[in-house]
Structure 1
Amino acid sequence: MVGRYDGGVITEAELIAESSRLPSPLREQFERPAGQREFVRSMIDKRLLAQEARTRGLHLEQDIQKQVRELEERLIIQALLAAEEKAAGRPGEEQLRAYYTQHRDEFAQPERLRLGRVLVAFPAEATAAQRAQAKQKAERFAQRLKAGEALAKVAAEGDGTEKTQGGELGWVARADLPDRQLEDAAFGLKTVGQVSGVVAEGRGYSVVQLLERREARVPPFEEVKAEVEGRALPQFKKKAFEALIARLRSAGAVEVDIPARP
């Protein structure tokens, strides 16, 4: 027992349970003895207020009774649904495979490229001469890459953020790249190591190099089993709910008397 009042006590278990619901910063405040004493007083104050309200009969007011019934209804429905979901369990292997077969196209993986890039940027107000100079620099970078010079070395002299990552943009699919011309140039590369021509972007010129390619594919069930279960589970729960509702409606002789509008 950590507190008492005329009408009851506050136990240590109640204190722990109540304080555990506090946000983390407040919980730390009440971990100290002074904070705990203050928290126990606040718990007692709340009990005293509720006690006084009952003494005055406020708990019998119709509006409060209605809210209590509505809250109870929500809580017991939640408990019922949780019990039904637990009883239904999780979808088994056969059910997951059936879901995978029905939604196979949703698991398709598009063609993806691992790209390297060297960017030569120019300012927004660049003159024609500055743009021409940037393009020439990008063309020299392209020639060096085509000659076999290491991407990381060439990219280190460029302007893109990828210069700090050895020139790598990482894996991209169509629509991942910000510029359509850059996308067309990248996906036009056919062999690993191939280098594109110079591509005009919004504020610069780029050269891209194909480092690796993954063809479009539909992964087998075993590879995406966890993802299949994550997608199938809500549908599985929905079916359990619908079965429960159908069973209750049938047993409850449900009738709806509102006529259809003409």
Structure 2
Amino acid sequence: MTQAELAEESARLPSPLREQFERPAGQREFVRSMIDKRLLAQEARVRGLHQKPEIHKQVQALEERLVIQELLAAEEKAAGTPGEQALREYYQQHRDELAQPERLRLARVQVVVPPGATATQRAQAKQKAERLAQRLKSGEALEKVAADGDGRGGELGWVARGDLSDRELESAAFSLKKVGDTSAVVAEAKGYSVVRLLERREARVPAFEEVRAEVEGRALPQWKRKVLEGLLARLREAGSVSIDMPVAP
């Protein structure tokens, strides 16, 4: 067994395993496993198992898949990648898919109600949330108000519809009209929250230049499909392919 064979086999391993077998002790273990595999294959041939028809079928199927992959890779390399005009045409045809939904940048002040809380405890938590909401509406700094909640407030980041797990909170957030607006107290599974609108991005279709990389990634599978269809059309014509099957009743 050569060093080149060892390196080739090692290169097929996932990264964590490859790093493990790069150490001296690991290399010895890996070489042993390669030798064991060859011993097993040799014994199988001695017993004539490699001549079984089902083994031949599997080998032929694997060879067929591998040579088809090589053929398609060669065709795709010869065809190149989608050009600028093809990408722009894809962009125009798929503008709806590339549209960006309305997004809000939100902050939240939260008052958590512990599991099993009594009705009195829930009422007290709601009153606390209402006082915090009033402080926000009176102009007090968000960071200070959030800190006086349960320490779980602050920025939620950018969200679109469907990003928030609580539908009531989402409804309250998307009903805010102006930057700086603060919602009423919203009851959640874990307690009560107040959200503030920090910034809004309206729904839009980004310009081609903004999403060119995404368009190229989306268009590539379609481009490869066209390469395949073109190859198949040439092969069918050259091979005079016909299908003779009985028509189903």
**1:4 counterpart residue number:** none
**2:58 counterpart residue number:** 67
State the Cα distance separating 1:58 from its structure 2 match.
5.3
Question: Of the two structures, which has the highest relative contact order with CA contacts closer than 8 Å and spacing of 6 or more?
Answer: 2
For the residue of structure 1 that corresponds to 2:114, the secondary structure is coil
When the two chains are superposed, the root-mean-square deviation of aligned CA atoms in Å is 2.4
State the Cα distance separating 1:249 from its structure 2 match.
1.2
Identity of aligned residues (%): 76
State the Cα distance separating 1:118 from its structure 2 match.
0.9
Of 181, 195, 198, 2:182 maps to 195
**1:246 counterpart residue number:** 233
Tell me whether 182-191 or 30-39 shows the greater mean CA deviation: 30-39
- What code does the residue aligned with 1:114 have? R
Superposition pairs for residues 96-111 of structure 1, below 5 Å? 96-111=87-102
State the Cα distance separating 1:200 from its structure 2 match.
2.2
State the Cα distance separating 1:66 from its structure 2 match.
2.9
State the Cα distance separating 1:95 from its structure 2 match.
0.5
Distance in structure 1 (CA, Å) of the matches to 2:107 and 2:37: 64
For the residue of structure 1 that corresponds to 2:203, the secondary structure is coil
State the Cα distance separating 1:114 from its structure 2 match.
0.8
Tell me whether 102-111 or 19-28 shows the greater mean CA deviation: 19-28
State the Cα distance separating 1:119 from its structure 2 match.
1.4
For the residue of structure 2 that corresponds to 1:22, the secondary structure is coil
For the residue of structure 2 that corresponds to 1:235, the secondary structure is helix
Answer yes or no: is 1:218 the counterpart of 2:209. no
- What code does the residue aligned with 1:222 have? E
Q: What are the superposed Cα offsets for residues 150-204 of structure 1, whole Å, 9 maximum, x if unpaired?
A: 101100111263x3xxx11111112222233322221221111111222222332
**2:79 counterpart residue number:** 88
Distance in structure 2 (CA, Å) of the matches to 1:26 and 1:179: 42
* TM-score using structure 1 length: 0.84
**1:256 counterpart residue number:** 243
Distance in structure 1 (CA, Å) of the matches to 2:140 and 2:19: 58
- Closer, same or farther in 2 for the Cα pair 1:197/1:66, shift >3 Å? closer
State the Cα distance separating 1:64 from its structure 2 match.
3.3
**2:166 counterpart residue number:** 179
State the Cα distance separating 1:251 from its structure 2 match.
1.2
Of 129, 149, 173, 2:120 maps to 129
Distance in structure 2 (CA, Å) of the matches to 1:38 and 1:205: 59
Aligned residues: 249
- What code does the residue aligned with 2:57 have? K
Tell me whether 73-82 or 36-45 shows the greater mean CA deviation: 36-45
For the residue of structure 1 that corresponds to 2:109, the secondary structure is strand
Distance in structure 2 (CA, Å) of the matches to 1:76 and 1:190: 60
Q: What are the superposed Cα offsets for residues 208-255 of structure 1, whole Å, 9 maximum, x if unpaired?
A: 111111111111000011111111111111111111112111111111
State the Cα distance separating 1:145 from its structure 2 match.
0.7
Answer yes or no: is 1:231 the counterpart of 2:210. no
Distance in structure 1 (CA, Å) of the matches to 2:175 and 2:29: 70
- Closer, same or farther in 2 for the Cα pair 1:83/1:190, shift >3 Å? same
- What code does the residue aligned with 2:3 have? E
**1:5 counterpart residue number:** none
Answer yes or no: is 1:77 the counterpart of 2:68. yes
Structure 1: stretches of 5+ with no match in the other structure: 1-9
Structure 2: stretches of 5+ with no match in the other structure: none
**2:141 counterpart residue number:** 150
**1:140 counterpart residue number:** 131
For the residue of structure 2 that corresponds to 1:211, the secondary structure is strand
